[in-house]
Amino acid sequence: MNFSFSERLLGIFSNALEVSAESMGLWQRIQPPEDFSSSGHLIHWLFNYTTYVNLFWFALVVAGLFGFSFVYSQRRNKKPLYTHGNEKKHLMVTAAIGLGVFLSVDLVITKVSSRDMKETFWNFPKDNEDVVRVQVLAQQWAWNFRYAGADGEFNTVDDVVTLNNMRVPAGKKVLIQLTAKDVIHAFYLPNARIKADAIPGRYAKLWFDAKTPGIYEIACAEMCGNHHYLMKSQLTVLSQEDFDLWVKESQSMAIATNDKEDASLRWGWKWGSK
């Protein structure tokens, strides 16, 4: 039996509602969003490493504060000891702790993040790769998404334009060009652990892939005004078959309904413009 895209999408929404209605314990509630991408684990690892190593040094400092307070309390040391902390042993301890913090925190974070940025997040898909290209326009208070139509060109009459719902296929890279209409926004995909600023007059780009079909959140990570909370949008990840069906139906509808004279539909730009 063949189903239209609308019927299939209704099934996805129903499944999502069933999952969200399930009761979750405290541990599940404090967990980060599901990572559906092939690169999100890199950010997740770096976040966890930073948290744990800082907790280690914090615990060490707290242990020192309470430990020295106990050892050098008035009950155990009737005669107070005054020091400026400038003796050689004091300087060596201070230098050792500072060097330990620098090597375990700053150096590791800088090295790992630089490697991940170069090898993964800035390693954009090549021009000849089969990817989904989407133009994103942020505005107060919504996200606009544009897909090139059958002609392969952006900002033409057969473009598919959606509001607050970006649809992508599972298992394929998605390349995004991003800008803003009014103020600075930030395009944030919690489930892919990535975000990029949307700045008026400038194009940013990022890429991601989604391995698991479902409905996920798109958020604005920049305080963009008093209705910032309205910038919540959704990402619908479909199977390749369902995505192709949606594109086919949406392009047919766009060609039949798009008004060439409607300037509000022509906010796109030539792909690759700087």
Determine contact, residues 265/255, Cβ cutoff 8 Å.
no
Of 85, 102, 121, the last residue of a domain is: 121
Residue 87, pLDDT score: 87
- Does residue 34 form part of some domain? no
Alpha-carbon span 181 to 198, nearest angstrom: 9
Instruction: Report helix, strand or coil for 195.
Output: strand
Looking at the structure, tell me whether residues 232 and 260 fall in a common domain: yes
- Does residue 75 form part of some domain? yes
Of 101, 121, 141, the last residue of a domain is: 121
Looking at the structure, tell me whether residues 117 and 136 fall in a common domain: no
Residue 22, pLDDT score: 57
Looking at the structure, tell me whether residues 93 and 148 fall in a common domain: no
Of 75, 95, 121, the last residue of a domain is: 121
Looking at the structure, tell me whether residues 141 and 244 fall in a common domain: yes
CATH number of 253's domain:
2.60.40.420
Looking at the structure, tell me whether residues 157 and 186 fall in a common domain: yes
- Does residue 4 form part of some domain? no
Tokens of 101: 């913090």
- Does residue 23 form part of some domain? no
- Does residue 127 form part of some domain? no
Close Cβ partners of 183 (under 8 Å, ≥ 6 residues apart):
140, 200, 224, 225
- The string of pLDDT tens digits covering residues 213-248 is 999 999 999 999 999 999 999 999 999 999 999 999
User: What is the domain range of residue 53?
Assistant: 40-121
Looking at the structure, tell me whether residues 117 and 138 fall in a common domain: no
9 confidence band (pLDDT: 50, 70, 90):
low
- Does residue 32 form part of some domain? no
7 confidence band (pLDDT: 50, 70, 90):
very low
Looking at the structure, tell me whether residues 145 and 188 fall in a common domain: yes
Domain count, the chain: 2
- Other C-beta atoms lying within 10 Å of the C-beta of residue 178: 22
- Does residue 172 form part of some domain? yes
Average pLDDT, the chain: 87
- The string of pLDDT tens digits covering residues 148-162 is 988 888 988 889 999
Residue 220, pLDDT score: 95
Query: Roughly what angle, to the nearest 10 degrees, separates helices 5-21 and 240-257?
Result: 120
**Cα 159 off chain centre by:** 26
Looking at the structure, tell me whether residues 96 and 136 fall in a common domain: no
Looking at the structure, tell me whether residues 152 and 234 fall in a common domain: yes
- The string of pLDDT tens digits covering residues 57-114 is 999 999 999 998 888 888 887 787 777 888 888 899 899 999 999 999 999 999 999 9
Residue 8, pLDDT score: 53
- Does residue 223 form part of some domain? yes
